[in-house]
Amino acid sequence: MTLFEKIIAKELPSTVLYEDERCICIKDVAPQAKVHALLIPKLAIPSLNDLTQDHQNLIAHMMLQIPKIASDLGLSETGYRVVNNIGQHGGQSVPHLHFHILGGEQLSGNFA
Ligand code: AMP
Contact status, residue 101 vs residue 66, Cβ threshold 8 Å: yes
What's the pLDDT tens digit per position in 5-61? 999 999 999 999 999 999 999 999 999 999 999 999 999 999 999 999 999 999 999
Q: Is 98 a catalytic residue?
A: yes
Concatenated DSSP letters of 59-101? HHHHHHHHHHHHHHTT-TTT-EEEE---HHHHT--SSS--EEE
Cα 108 from Cα 100, distance rounded (Å): 15
pLDDT, position 70: 98
pLDDT of residue 22: 98
Phi and psi at residue 2, to the nearest 5°: -80, 165
Which residues have CB under 6 Å of ligand 1? 3, 12, 14, 26, 28-30, 38, 85, 91-94
How confident is the model over 85-106, as a mean pLDDT? 98
Q: Catalytic: which of 55, 61, 89, 98?
A: 98
* Position 63 confidence tier, pLDDT thresholds 50, 70, 90: very high
Residue 31 CA: nearest ligand 1 atom is: 12
Angle at 43 between CA 40 and CA 44, to 5 degrees: 85
User: Residue 52, Cβ neighbours under 10 Å: how many?
Assistant: 7
pLDDT band for 97, please (50, 70, 90 cuts): very high
